[in-house]
Amino acid sequence: MSNAEPRFDIDLPYGQAGEGTVAAFLRGRHEVKRKRRADLEFYFETEANNGRRGWDYSGLNVTEAHHIDFVIADTGIIVAFPTQTVAAAITAGLGRSVSETDGSCPTHGRLIGLADFVRWAQRRSSP
């Protein structure tokens, strides 16, 4: 038996705050990516060398989206990241630098694991 004591009077405002977060999310602008791999690492592009003519800011550095959403392969699962929080995490050094060099538009960015991102965001939001 669990020691949990469900308290509707305490849980209701917490749940309603969550509903407000989802409502704001739905009103915001979204940039959608689709991952071919069903894993929990996410690539956030920061620079591109379009046509191999020199590096320019791209992706996270230029998006006007409030959220960057990833559709994970063919699972129907969508993971959404607040753009400002991702930018702060990358500035703080979260994840690892990676480059995609195939094709006519190489990119640089950061690969961040979902669990690492959640832990980082939790520490950042704790008093």
50: number of Cβ within 10 Å: 13
Digitized pLDDT (tens) for each residue of the chain, 127 residues in all:
556 667 777 788 888 999 999 999 999 999 999 999 999 999 999 999 988 889 999 999 999 999 999 999 999 999 999 999 999 999 999 999 999 998 889 999 999 999 999 999 999 988 7
Q: Report the predicted TM-score, pTM, of the whole model to 2 decimal places.
A: 0.86
